[in-house]
Amino acid sequence: MTDFSSEMTEPLDALARAFDPQRFSARVVRGYALPFLRVVSLEAPSLAERITVRPDEAGAPSFWWSWNERIAPVHDICRTAQKITTVLGLVRPAVEHTEESRA
């Protein structure tokens, strides 16, 4: 018998370790029908996402956004973390140039 729980949580655990702990809180939440990875920006805590693992159209396990869009296959941890970081990363406004700063 296949342990689907570990098939889902092992990639989530690996993905959680891929985030910079200075910028993101990433933890696997178990105990629900479908375990998920909760990723929160420490710079802007309102920026958060819930990532799950489930099969794609071909049956291959993949990471999924909360809005039901596939991110990447579970073996592509780096690309997945990069995409999530891009979405949750705080965009800093451009510095305004004043007359004083140009002098």
Q: What is the pLDDT along the chain (103 residues), one digit of tens a residue?
A: 344 566 679 999 999 999 999 999 999 999 878 899 999 999 999 999 999 999 999 999 999 999 999 999 999 999 999 999 999 986 555 555 455 444 4
CA distance 74 to 14: 9
φ, ψ at 98 (rounded to 5°): -105, 170
Residue from 30, 33, 32 nearest 16 by CA: 30
The two structure tokens encoding residue 46: 């309102």
Range of the domain at 49: 4-102
The pLDDT, as a whole number, for residue 31 is 82
The two structure tokens encoding residue 10: 């092992």
Give the total number of structural domains in the chain. Answer: 1
The pLDDT, as a whole number, for residue 1 is 31
pTM of the model: 0.80
